[in-house]
Amino acid sequence: MSDFLIENIPLTKEWLAELIEIKIGVKPKIGTIPQNTKGCSVVENAGGGVKNVDHSVVERFMHNTECNYYKLFSSLSEKPLQIPTTYLASKAGEKAPVPVIVLEMLEDCKLHDLIPGFNEDQLFKIVDELVKLHIFSLTTEKWKEIVPDESKLAMSGFLQCMVADVGRKLAQNPELGVILSYVENTLDTDPNYLQKMRDEYINEERPSVICHGDLWAPQILWDKEDNIAGIVDWQATHRGSPMEDLHHILSTCTSVQNRKTFTKPLLDHYYNKLKVGLKEKGFKTTWTREEIDIEYNYSFIYGASRTIFANGFWANSPVLQTDGKPDPERIKESFVRCKSYLEDTIRELNII
């Protein structure tokens, strides 16, 4: 049996065992880690036009971003929210022969499936974690020292084009024609449409917080009591709107009825918890309750783009499959959520 953690990657089980021993004082037994390389082909099948992209550049900026935030969180005396302990977050050429992140294994945890989606109680627990992250963001400055990866900034225009291409392919489905109206009246009007919105937060024209950037069902681990045990995969983390991650959860990970029923109560809960938490730390509330609604509506644009890309990706991946085959019922439910959310985006922002 090979001593490598992953075949053809120069990281040994002994290296990892010694690393963890330094951290916890006990040398564990290490198994082999399976490798998944399907991501790029899935995006290509979704219509994302990735053939001309250097995938190593994408992998590098995603890994470097995740390293930056895990390093930030591990440097704190107290975690700002539920995240695994970080044993190592190494970029290329740092503390390991290859880029690698080693995290605590959260045992006896479960994931909630995307299609049944989150219920009311789970949605409020997710908002509680977002409040913790945002209180940290609004009461500290160290996180603002993290500079976006230059290669990511350079690819911002391409990423918008990829979303638009995925949207046009999805819009070929009769039930998703609304996507084309969105793409033509937003992304197609300006090649830097989304980046200009992002710049408002980077340049502090609008108050910003740490956004997870890819918060959906598989990134949230739940314990036996159905409390959040950890949030993982911080590869797309960035400065942005306090409403961005909530939009992604509500547009993709719960039913249309739940989204429409619980959005206002969730925003009320978010505001009240944020206000109390900031006051306890000696800070004034950053937004009024009315400004939270304004920020939520403003974030529909970015939320819609991410929802389009997610549905294009998932429809061509195991996410919406059963027994290795596309599941029409799972795909239908995901598309129903996407359509409803895009319709609300167009109505709320008066996109014609």
The residues, any chain, with a CB within 8 Å of residue 135's CB and separated by 6 or more, are 80, 274, 277, 278, 281
How many CB atoms sit inside 10 A of residue 188's CB? 16
Q: What is the pLDDT of residues 252-263, one digit of tens each?
A: 999 999 999 999
Q: What structural domains and CATH numbers belong to the chain? A: 108-349 (3.90.1200)
Identify the CA nearest to 99 among candidates 56, 148, 41. Answer: 56
Task: Say if strands 238-240 and 209-211 run parallel, antiparallel, or are unpaired.
Answer: antiparallel
Whole-number pLDDT of residue 37: 47
Residue 65 is inside which H or E element, if any? helix 55-74
Q: Is residue 44 scored above 60 in pLDDT? A: no
Helix, coil or strand: residue 280: helix
Average pLDDT, integer, range 148-152: 72
Q: What is the pLDDT of residues 103-137, one digit of tens each?
A: 888 889 999 999 999 999 999 999 999 999 999 99
Q: Is residue 40 scored above 60 in pLDDT? A: no
How many CB atoms sit inside 10 A of residue 186's CB? 22
* 229 phi, psi to nearest 5 deg: -95, -30
E strands along 149-224, which residues? 209-211, 220-222
Q: Which comes out higher in pLDDT, residue 14 or 193? A: 193
Q: Is residue 49 scored above 70 in pLDDT? A: no
Rounded to whole angstroms, what are the CA distances from 340 to 80, 171, 213, 260, 352?
33, 14, 22, 10, 16
Give the global pTM: 0.90
Identify the CA nearest to 17 among candidates 7, 6, 5, 34. Answer: 5
The HSE-up count of residue 317 (CA atoms within 13 Å, CB side) is 19
Distance CA 143, CA 189 (A): 33
Q: Worst-scoring range by mean pLDDT, 11-25, 31-45, 153-167, 213-227? A: 31-45
In the structure, what pLDDT confidence band is assigned to residue 93 with cuts at 50, 70 and 90?
Answer: confident
How many CB atoms sit inside 10 A of residue 296's CB? 23
Whole-number pLDDT of residue 6: 72
Distance CA 230, CA 105 (A): 10
User: What Rg do the C-alpha atoms of the chain give, in angstroms?
Assistant: 20
